[in-house]
Structure 1
Amino acid sequence: MTFSADYLLDRIRLKRRLRIWQGIGILAICAALLALAARFDVFGHGDHIARLWVEGIIRDDVARDEMIAELKRDPKVKAVIVRINSPGGSVVGGEALYRNLRDLANEKPVVAVMGEVAASAGYMTALAADYIVAREGTITGSIGVLMQSANVKGLMEKIGVKPVIIKSAPLKAAPNPMEDLTPQSRKATEAVILDMFDMFQSMVMERRNLSKAEVSRLADGRIYTGRQAKNARLIDETGSEAAALAWLKREKKVPSTLEVIDAIYGEEDLWAGAQSAIAKSFFDKTLISKGLSLDGLISVWQPELK
């Protein structure tokens, strides 16, 4: 039985593709096993510095909270570096991170290292640290709280849709896109926003040792570069993770010989664990940005898109 040259070439190509996919499968399994090993410390790490990543939109996260509590309990963790690269997120998410990291800092040194962006709830997270380091070009600040809505009542009328709203009291479900914002509703909503803003400002005053007047001047919602934040005393130093390690050695007597190990949390499957363990930045940084969808009060900086 003879085969044509084209048929033989197709068979060779098919076998080559199969070998490639077999290799990828083997690598994925190995990476997953390494991720599990790192997560459950099967290699028996000795004393070390833990690196906790806070990236993307900050939300309330039970798995992250449990990891912070685990870092606090683990006697082998001698210090924690919090790497922040986030435009912010929900107020509750930022508050939870702040409170849990402050609880951790009562037991072990915590230093924050800001990446490209650490604004709004991202900056709130950094406030929990004993020391804050940022790059000169880091975008930070944006101290404030907001609630976003829209009034589509006119649009609904143009397309022939008339909303029917029945509620127990005038302030129920306010603001509502289907009805005009009344002065009473605006006042009640502003009271909520200002209450959370007061909480945020209190954190800045306490952690950065600034007066209320100084914080009021800085907390007008604007963003700052790392250099500007340093001059405004919103951060302690401009630099990299090396600066954080130097501070830990200098001020907290943490040995410079200790290994820095990533703290992995919230992995739902083996492949997710593999991604975080061996190629976190490659897999997470895609060309298509993830949409921002948050309920409730948010503390987030995002460039205006028109």
Structure 2
Amino acid sequence: MSLDADQIVERRRLRRKVTFWRTLGVLAAVGALAVAVSTFAGNTLSPSTPHVARVVIGGVIRNDRERVKMLDEIADSRAAAVILSIDSPGGTVTGAEQLYDALQRLAKKKPVVAVVEGLAASGGYIAAIGADHIVARRNALVGSVGVIFQFPNVYELLKSVGIAVEDIKSSPLKAAPNGYTPTSPEARAAIDALVVDTYAWFKALVGDRRKLTDAQLATVADGRVFTGHQGLGLQLVDELGDETTARAWLAREKGVSEDLKVRTWRTGQRSSEFGWLSGAVGGIAGALGFPQLAAILSQATGAALERAQLDGLLALWHPQINR
């Protein structure tokens, strides 16, 4: 049986469409592969080859043994210098202290320059002062020298619905404050003592590293953030600019050739042990055909988990807290 003219035309039209989408798919796959290869090739520079190491300090800072190990490895590598690319609101005090100590060990072996890409606040600023030189973009934010201990108290809410949480403990200040009972003056005083002690450590660190007088330190240590431009006048940063500015400083002051390639060092550890949950939430939404919702849910879940894992005293800047 022969096909009439309309059927032949329709079949040819369908064949052209299939060919078009197949070609487009192949081109997309090739393009993705090219990007992946390019990205991989950009970081295949061997640690044993002379280079400038780039370390990205981003997001919330907490204790991270893998990062400390990586910084120690950089110290023993052929890196001629280290650039810290910082964009962080801070994090736990102990996490910032751990990172600062590791950076100081590194700075004894390699020149280290910090570049504030967007934000170096609280614990993020502690990381920055671990470097020999601080470069910040003109409108980046720096500072937020201070410490916060924050906890929710739902006592009045529970009381309104007739719920009381009782506990039996060895002493009045055990597990205080707990958020289920009114915070006693004694508990508040105990927590205040922790905050004051850690704040004194933070201030002393800034004053020593930035060579500030008592009057200058008092100006910058009230918890505020400053723009890079303001921070330059307050001695919180040394220079305005970007990574190119940092490379120029390394060449000028440390004799590090600007021709050396940059190698970005990574720990290979992806966020927290709860990263699978963020991916699962996004994956479910994606499988249902809502890619934009998947991206939003993954980001929101990751941020919520990140906050949930912060425990103890925080050196963390958040505009909703500081309003």
TM-score, normalized by the shorter chain, greater than 0.5: yes
Report if aligned partners of 2:232, 2:240 keep a CA contact under 8 Å in 1: yes
Aligned residue type for 1:51: R
How many residue pairs match? The answer is 289
Tell me whether 1:301 sits opposite 2:304 in the alignment.
no
Give CA-to-partner distance per residue, 1:60-108, whole Å, 9 cap, x none.
Answer: 2222222211211112x10011011111111122112111111111001
Report if aligned partners of 1:64, 1:266 keep a CA contact under 8 Å in 2: no
Tell me: CA distance 1:24–1:93, structure 2 relative to 1, closer, same or farther (3 Å).
farther
Distance 1:138 1:170 in 2: 45
User: Residue 86 of structure 1 is aligned with which of 64, 85, 88?
Assistant: 88
Q: Secondary structure at the match of 2:55?
A: strand
| Alignment TM-score, normalising by the size of structure 1 | 0.82
Shift of 1:23: 5.3
Tell me whether 1:155 sits opposite 2:157 in the alignment.
yes
Q: Secondary structure at the match of 1:128?
A: coil
Match of 1:192 in 2: 194
Q: Secondary structure at the match of 1:202?
A: helix
Tell me whether 1:48 sits opposite 2:51 in the alignment.
yes
Match of 2:109 in 1: 107
Q: Which runs of 5+ in 2 are unaligned?
A: 276-294
Report if aligned partners of 2:145, 2:224 keep a CA contact under 8 Å in 1: yes
Q: Percent identity?
A: 37
Shift of 1:34: 5.6
- Which structure carries more relative contact order (alpha carbon 8 Å, separation 6+)? 1
Distance 1:171 1:21 in 2: 65
Distance 1:208 1:127 in 2: 8
Report if aligned partners of 1:39, 1:264 keep a CA contact under 8 Å in 2: no
Shift of 1:160: 2.0
Tell me whether 1:205 sits opposite 2:215 in the alignment.
no
* Greater gyration radius: 2
Distance 1:28 1:45 in 2: 29
Q: Secondary structure at the match of 1:170?
A: coil
Distance 2:242 2:57 in 1: 16
User: Residue 177 of structure 1 is aligned with which of 179, 202, 213?
Assistant: 179
Distance 2:11 2:74 in 1: 59
Q: Which runs of 5+ in 1 are unaligned?
A: 273-285
Distance 1:302 1:34 in 2: 36
